[in-house]
Amino acid sequence: MINLIDLLGRVLISLVFLLSGYNKIFNYSNTVSWMEGYGVPGFLLWPTIVLEIILPILIIIGYKTQISAILLAIFCIVTAIIFHLDFANQMQVIALLKNFGLAGGFIFIAINGPKDWALDQKKKYVRL
């Protein structure tokens, strides 16, 4: 049962980024304009899309889970600081705290690793 709950948790935390990456692809020009409004160069959007799609997939399947989780935790903290530091806007404060909460979840995954339902798990051989 613990393996199912672990997998479900990895899927749920990863869905945020999978959907975000998907939306950035189909709203590319609007996203570039939004990023540039914060002083972030538009050419960084493609690496962001790749990061938001590849790393969550790796976390879901349990391959290089801890490295992927650390990278996504750093990504969450950096994007929170760049895009959500408007304390006068309650929605931006909520987005800031959401990003910090996601970073905390990824740190938890990085520390504990995936359970048995992951590609990272070493095969256990029985010695005869």
**Is residue 66 exposed (0-12), middle (13-18) or buried (19+ Cβ within 10 Å)?**
middle
Among residues 123, 117, 122, 121, which one has the least CA distance to residue 11?
117
pTM score: 0.92
Provide the 8-state DSSP code for 128.
-
The per-residue pLDDT for range 55-101, each reduced to its tens digit, is 999 999 999 999 999 999 999 999 999 999 999 999 999 999 999 99
- Both tokens of 30, joined, read 């609007």
Among residues 47, 17, 53, which one has the least CA distance to residue 35?
47
| pLDDT at residue 121, rounded to an integer | 77
Q: Which residues of 21-38 are buried (b: 16+ CB within 10 A; e: fewer)?
A: beebeeeeeebbeebeee
Q: What is the mean pLDDT of the chain?
A: 95
Q: Which long-range contacts (CB under 8 A, 24 or more apart) does 73-76 make?
A: 73/102, 73/103, 73/104, 73/106, 73/107, 73/110, 74/103, 75/51, 76/100, 76/102, 76/103, 76/106
In this prediction, residue 126 has a pLDDT band, given cuts at 50, 70 and 90, of: low
